[in-house]
Amino acid sequence: MKFRRIKQTHKTDLESIVGHERFSTGESNLELHSKDESQHPPCQPEAVIWPVNKTEVSEILQYANRHMIPVTGWGSGTSLEGNPIPVLNGLVLDFSRMNKIINIREADFQADVEPGVVYQDLNRKLRHKGLFFPPDPGARATIGGMIANNASGTRTVRYGSTRANVLRLTVALANGEVIKTGSRSSKTSSGYDLINLIVGSEGTLGIVVEATVRLRGLPEDLSAVIVTFPNVDSAGKAVFEIMRSGLNPASLELLAPECVALINKEKNLGLKVSPTLFIEFHGPSRNQLEEITEMTHDICESIGCHEFRPGIGRKERDDILNARHELAETIKRNHPGRSHVVIDVAVPVSSYPEIISLAREESKKAEIPGYTFSHAGDGNLHLVFMGKIGDKKEWTIIDRINERIVSKALAMGGTATGEHGVGIGKRKFMEAEHGLSLEWMKKIKNLFDPNGILNPGKIFFSSFS
């Protein structure tokens, strides 16, 4: 299987589909679409195209498939594992102009959207209707990109990942055929679940051109709590006990001391520099939230927390959440001359205290700037290392730590990637995680995309990647 370079005849034909102003081979556009937010090396496409409707996407894919041109979908480039980097050049489909909120079905708690809609923009429009779209990865991610990566975030512990909030998809396949899967009903037992096949497939099986997403009602009330602990081990135990108690937090985030210190430095929040849990509860009444908060207090106190601060005001809560969302960028900004890698494993919540303890041990031994933080409520650990650019010794240490932590997570029944996807960086762990089922994934890929044009080089190693 051999892909073709984009020749002048291809450029002319592709430009005729969308018009001159929405097709580019200019250096600046190629550079902008060569790299995401990861440390993986950039790779320029040969052309960038901006479709505005599903008919154009279908025609583009039909043409690319016929001429063996690789195609990579592009949302906003905020991914962290090289997921949209066009490693085999070819054509990038930028969906920033397919950004319409088609319909808000307020009575059904649903919205129909194009893939280029940024989820924060959708939530700003929904706020006036008392609704919101729950997945919250933090960056200005598009809903198409979130679907491709099955993005999660701070609210996953209560509302689920993107996968749990998608009801219906319209998908353009590699040959240009457009299919619809799912329905607007809240549940179905009809046929194979193609939605869950497409969500998380990173654009390797098809390109999402429209989605119906599930909305939730804005909570009547909320309660935010900050809890500090003498060490990360005790904070990890508190996470397990809170989840085991069935208190159902909307957010349960853990920040290690180095993260708190950095947030204080950047945001001047005056938080105690100690292992810290930020917990948020949503509920129908203040009385219910007060009862839940008191139960949480009892759990944390029994484990030996240093400080328990309930009743955090909305402004302080928003400041902390914003600081948490911006943490990755804050870390990078404070380490010039270094690049980052994000270890992103998830384990059963009962194993969470053990995996975070291992991460702390490995981080201390490395003597490389490292930051531990976590969507603790769903067992999703992040360990960010800032390696010196060009220092092979440091990057070898980081790679070995990554492998040890992933191996431990897999041994616990967890996963190599909790929310960032496979992309380029996690391909090497796929066989260990999936075993023989990986071969069935390859068969599914070959069925949907026999010529292999859709985002080649991602999820699987291949002879041409």
Q: What band does 318 get if pLDDT is binned at 50, 70 and 90?
A: confident
The class of domain 335-426 in CATH terms is: alpha beta
Q: What CATH number has the domain spanning 221-323?
A: 3.30.70.3450
Question: Are residues 132 and 107 in contact, defined by beta-carbon separation less than 8 angstroms?
Answer: no
What integer pLDDT is reported at residue 462 of this predicted model?
67
Task: Please name the residues in contact with 289: beta carbons below 8 A apart, sequence gap of 6 or more.
Answer: 221, 222, 223, 281, 283
Mean pLDDT to the nearest integer, 208-223: 95
List every span in the chain annotated with CATH 3.30.70.2740. Answer: 335-426
- CB-based contacts of 258: which residues, under 8 Å, 6+ apart? 370, 371, 372
Pairwise CA distance, residues 250 & 435, whole Å: 34
Rounded mean pLDDT, 447-451: 97
- Is pLDDT at 442 greater than 80 in this prediction? yes
Query: H-helix or E-strand containing 366?
Result: helix 352-366
The answer to whether the CB of 79 falls within 8 A of the CB of 423 is yes
| pLDDT tier at 321, thresholds 50, 70, 90 | confident
CATH 3.30.465.10 region(s) of the chain?
Answer: 108-217
Q: How confident is the model at residue 316 (pLDDT cuts 50, 70, 90)?
A: confident
Q: How confident is the model at residue 1 (pLDDT cuts 50, 70, 90)?
A: low
Question: In which order are the strands placed within the sheet that holds 47-49?
Answer: 23-24, 47-49, 91-94, 71-74
Strands (DSSP E) found in 17-165: 23-24, 47-49, 71-74, 91-94, 101-105, 110-113, 131-132
Higher-confidence residue: 311 or 21? 21
pTM of the predicted model as reported, rounded to 2 decimal places: 0.94
pLDDT given for residue 312 in this prediction: 81
How does pLDDT run across 399-424, given as a tens digit for each residue? Answer: 999 999 999 999 999 999 999 999 99
SS3 82: coil
| Confidence at residue 463, expressed as pLDDT on a 0 to 100 scale | 47
Q: CA torsion, points 56, 15, 9, 4, in degrees to nearest 10?
A: -60
pLDDT band, residue 314 (cuts 50/70/90):
confident
Secondary structure in 3-state letters for 339-352 = EEEEEEEECCHHHH
Range from 11-15, 108-112, 268-272, 414-418 carrying the lowest mean pLDDT: 268-272
Domain at 108-217, CATH class: alpha beta
Query: At which residue do the structure tokens 């609210």 appear?
Result: 155
273-313 pLDDT tens trace: 999 999 999 998 889 999 999 999 999 999 999 999 998 88
Q: For the chain, what percent of residues have pLDDT higher than 70?
A: 99
**How far apart are the C-alpha atoms of 187 and 209, rounded to whole Å?**
22
Bridge partners of residue 132, in order along the sequence: 216
Domain boundaries for CATH 3.30.43.10 within the chain: 8-96
Residue type, 369: P
Question: What average pLDDT does the segment 53-60 reach?
Answer: 98
Give the Cα separation of 148 and 116 in Å (integer).
Answer: 12
DSSP structural state of residue 153 = B
Average pLDDT across the chain, whole number: 95
Is the distance from CB of 97 to CB of 22 less than 8 angstroms?
Answer: yes
Q: Are strands 71-74 and 91-94 parallel, antiparallel or unpaired?
A: parallel
Q: What is the mean pLDDT of residues 77-92?
A: 96
The answer to whether the Cα torsion of 311, 317, 320, 324 is positive or negative is: positive
Asked whether 218 and 127 are in contact (CB, 8 A), the reply is yes
| First-last CA distance in the chain | 12
H/E segment holding residue 276: strand 276-283
Report the pLDDT value the prediction gives residue 465, as an integer from 0 to 100. 43
Provide the pLDDT for residue 341: 94
Average pLDDT, integer, range 119-135? 96
* Structure-token pair, residue 214: 């599930």
Angle at 35 between CA 198 and CA 86, to 5 degrees: 55
Span 151-179, average pLDDT: 97
What mean pLDDT do residues 152-166 have? 95
Contacts of 98 (CB under 8 A, 6+ apart): 51, 52, 53, 57, 114, 115, 116, 144, 209
Q: How far is CA 440 from CA 198, 436, 448, 460, in A?
A: 15, 7, 12, 12
State the pLDDT at residue 2.
Answer: 85
pLDDT in tens, 98-108: 999 999 999 99
Fold held by 8-96: 3.30.43
What is the band of 76 on the pLDDT scale with cuts at 50, 70, 90?
very high
- Do 390 and 384 meet the contact criterion of CB atoms below 8 Å apart? no
